[in-house]
């Protein structure tokens, strides 16, 4: 009973904290020298809009003059338009309906990268990231953080075996943030990313991945695919957040676990 009460109080405290931050972040700031366009994917669960609002408001506050494009399905679009009406009126948020509304979330994310990869200072970010400082975007392909080597953990090492990459030293890259530096890739390169995703899906359905592990692998399939794609591309890349760096984690952290 006490644990339940404490959990309720913590949840209430978080909501109050977020409301206070939203008030603070609505105050205009002097425009930054660099203006970015962040792309967010919001589908299938309109309740996530409250979390996304914290992410969007914090990003725009610390990066004034920047914009956020929210890509969503038809069900989410109407609610998003109401939730972000303040930012839409300021022309800092745009709501866009996805062409592929019923595909898997992981494939929708790859399709979004295919749309934005050539645009300068355009990047993808998860709706769960809360910003505490301005973005300084590197002039190279950038991802959120490096997590571990795929070959070191199951079921990922079994997956690599299933797609004939058992000898590869490939880092698992967290794709909560993805910037494909313009000029680094062309359309043919992005086709390879989709092909790798298809190979992962095929490996899951053909028995190369244990039945109990398929859900985990498919949930992370776009992240695994992107990690393999970037490693095999040979393109220079770097993490936005350095593992173990307290200053980095204070500047950008997830609102909920990712």
Q: Is 179 exposed, middle or buried (0-12, 13-18, 19+ CB in 10 A)?
A: buried
Both 157 and 175 in one domain: the answer is yes
Q: Note the pLDDT of residue 246.
A: 46
Whether the pLDDT of residue 249 is over 70: the answer is no
Query: Are residue 197 and residue 208 in the same domain, yes or no?
Result: yes
Sign of CA dihedral 150, 248, 246, 219: negative
Residue 4 located in a structural domain: no
Q: What CATH number is given to the structural domain containing 98?
A: 3.90.550.10
Let me know if residue 242 belongs to a domain.
Answer: yes
Tell me: do 150 and 131 sit in the same domain.
Answer: no
Return the percentage of the chain with pLDDT > 70, whole number.
Answer: 79
Do 120 and 144 reside in the same domain of the chain?
A: no
Q: Are residues 170 and 188 in the same domain?
A: yes
Q: Specify the 3-state DSSP secondary structure of 67.
A: strand
Domain's final residue, options 102, 137, 172: 137
pTM: 0.82
Mean pLDDT over residues 89-98, rounded? 92
Q: Is 25 a domain residue? A: no
**146 & 194 share domain:** yes
29-86 pLDDT, tens digit each: 555 567 899 999 988 877 888 889 999 999 999 998 899 999 998 888 889 999 999 9
Query: Model confidence at 137, in pLDDT bands (50, 70, 90)?
Result: confident
* Residue numbers of the domain that contains 52: 34-137
Interatomic CA distance for residues 46 and 123, integer angstroms: 22
> Is-contact 226 175, C-beta < 8 A?
yes
- Residue 27 resides in a domain: no
Distances in Å between the alpha carbon of 177 and those of 16, 74, 197, 198? 27, 24, 18, 22
Mean pLDDT, the chain, integer: 81
Question: Looking at the structure, do residues 112 and 178 belong to the same domain, yes or no?
Answer: no
Q: What is the pLDDT of residue 166?
A: 67
152 and 74 belong to one structural domain: no
pLDDT the model gives residue 258:
47
| Residue 126, domain member (yes or no) | yes
**Rounded distance between C-alpha atoms, residue 148 and residue 145, angstroms:** 10
Q: Could you tell me the CA-to-CA distances from 61 to 25, 69, 231, 247 in Å, in that order?
A: 5, 15, 34, 19
Scan for tokens 């990066």, then name that residue: 63
Residue ending a domain, among 137, 155, 189, is: 137
Express each pLDDT in 2-30 by its tens digit: 666 555 556 555 555 555 555 554 555 55
Regarding whether 165 and 89 lie in a shared domain, the answer is no
Counts for the chain of helices (H) and strands (E), in that order: 10, 9
In terms of domains, do 181 and 246 share one? yes
Q: How many domains does the chain have?
A: 2
In this prediction, residue 136 has a pLDDT band, given cuts at 50, 70 and 90, of confident
151 with 88, same domain? no
In a domain, 166, yes or no: yes
pLDDT higher than 80, residue 209: no
């Amino acid at each position: 009973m006490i644990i339940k009460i404490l959990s309720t109080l913590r949840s209430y405290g978080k909501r109050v904290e977020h409301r206070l931050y939203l008030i603070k972040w609505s105050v205009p700031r002097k425009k930054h020298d660099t203006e970015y366009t962040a792309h967010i994917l919001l589908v299938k669960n309109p309740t996530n809009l409250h979390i996304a609002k914290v992410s969007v408001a914090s990003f725009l506050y610390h990066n004034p003059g920047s914009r956020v494009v929210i890509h969503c399905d038809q069900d989410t679009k109407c609610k998003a338009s109401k939730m972000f009406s303040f930012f839409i009126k300021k022309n800092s948020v745009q709501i866009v309906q996805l062409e592929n509304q019923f595909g898997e979330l992981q494939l929708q994310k790859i399709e979004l990268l295919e749309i934005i990869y050539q645009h300068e200072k355009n990047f993808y970010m998860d709706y769960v990231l809360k910003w505490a400082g301005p973005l300084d975007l590197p002039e190279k392909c950038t991802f959120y953080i490096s997590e571990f080597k795929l070959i070191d953990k199951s079921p990922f090492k079994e997956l690599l075996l299933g797609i004939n990459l058992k000898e590869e030293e490939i880092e698992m890259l967290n794709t909560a943030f993805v910037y494909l530096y313009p000029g680094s890739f062309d359309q043919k390169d992005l086709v390879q990313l989709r092909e790798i995703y298809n190979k992962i899906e095929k490996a899951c359905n053909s028995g190369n991945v244990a039945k109990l592990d398929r859900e985990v692998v498919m949930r992370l399939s776009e992240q695994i695919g992107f990690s393999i794609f970037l490693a095999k591309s040979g393109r220079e890349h770097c993490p936005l957040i350095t593992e173990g760096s307290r200053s980095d984690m204070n500047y950008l952290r997830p609102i909920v676990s990712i």
